[in-house]
Amino acid sequence: MQPDNNTPHYDKADLHRPHVQVSLDLATIDEALHMAKIAVDAGVDWLEAGTPLIMSEGLHAIRALHEQFPDVPIIADLKTMDGGYGAVAKVAQAGASWSVVMGVAHPATIAAAVAAGRDYGIGVMGDVMVAPDKAAKARQLQDLGIDVISLHTGYDERHAITQASPWDDLAAVVAAVDIPVQAVGGLQIADFPRLVAAGAPLLVVGAPLVIGNEIAHPGETRDEHLARILSDVVRAVKQNHPSS
């Protein structure tokens, strides 16, 4: 089985170089397409249909992003907890190149999501958010066939536990697995170059949360501010990686 459209393929070996992903945590397709255009023009590699966007617009958001940017991989942040095969199959058919399953889901759900990823030709990310032992969970996900580990400190978690950050577990997770790691949540723009050096080359820039915390230049419009921040991130993380 394959998706009904030509989703961009991914090369596992290529995932060890820096990639910049922008999360489109927005409420409407129009907002997402507008921000996605700015991001792609700034050099961003991947577009994430964030959980809020999928909650508001469903698979229509994934289809719209894929139709508008057919050569850019789309990540569907479903945070799947059950029905792993069907969830991955649906987003693949809508044009996603990646789907996200939660590491605390039952292993059968994770295995089913991986099986669908193989059948439909897309990648599967495993999110270790709220796992008691994130390094052990990351290793289990790798053993189940997950392609990328998402080391995620959630929004509510960060507000309940002051200073909570992916940095707390990054070294242990990177040491536990051989597959690429991305760090998400509670990070600042200045963290991104350090993350590459620390073994997490897949970088997620939150929009509008992370970007909104950065100070705009005088006279800068919202779009200009966004474009500058994203361009700065892309340049900072890739300048020492000419193959990027």
Domain coordinates in residue numbering, the chain: 12-238
Query: Average pLDDT of the chain?
Result: 91
pLDDT at residue 5 is higher than 60: no
Helix H, strand E, coil C: the string for the chain is CCCCCCCCCCCHHHHHCCEEEEEECCCCHHHHHHHHHHHHHCCCCEEEECHHHHHHHCHHHHHHHHHHCCCCCEEEEEEECCCHHHHHHHHHHHCCCEEEEECCCCHHHHHHHHHHHHHHCCEEEEECCCCCCHHHHHHHHHHCCCCEEEEECCHHHHHHCCCCCCHHHHHHHHHHCCCCEEEECCCCCCHHHHHHHCCCCEEEEEECHHHHCCCCCCCCCHHHHHHHHHHHHHHHHHCCCCCC
- Please give the model's pTM, rounded to 2 decimal places: 0.92
Cα-Cα-Cα-Cα dihedral of 234, 34, 210, 99, to 10°?
A: -80
Q: What is the pLDDT of residues 107-120, one digit of tens each?
A: 999 999 999 999 99
Q: What is the pLDDT of residue 209?
A: 58
pLDDT at residue 227 is higher than 70: yes
Which pair of tokens denotes residue 162? 């002051």
Rounded mean pLDDT, 36-47: 97
Q: What is the pLDDT of residue 212?
A: 62
pLDDT-based confidence at 6, cuts 50/70/90? low
Q: What is the CATH number of domain 12-238?
A: 3.20.20.70
Q: What is the pLDDT of residue 10?
A: 65
pLDDT-based confidence at 239, cuts 50/70/90? confident
pLDDT at residue 46 is higher than 80: yes
pLDDT at residue 8 is higher than 80: no
pLDDT at residue 72 is higher than 80: yes
CA proximity to 71, closest of 1, 136, 6, 121: 6
Rounded mean pLDDT, 175-204: 93
Q: What is the pLDDT of residue 238?
A: 86
pLDDT-based confidence at 40, cuts 50/70/90? very high
Q: What is the pLDDT of residue 218?
A: 73
Q: What is the pLDDT of residue 59?
A: 98
pLDDT at residue 214 is higher than 80: no
Which pair of tokens denotes residue 143? 């053993």
Q: What is the pLDDT of residue 219?
A: 75
Q: What is the pLDDT of residues 122-160, one digit of tens each?
A: 999 999 999 999 999 999 999 999 999 999 998 889 889
Percent of the chain with pLDDT over 90: 74
Q: What is the pLDDT of residue 215?
A: 64
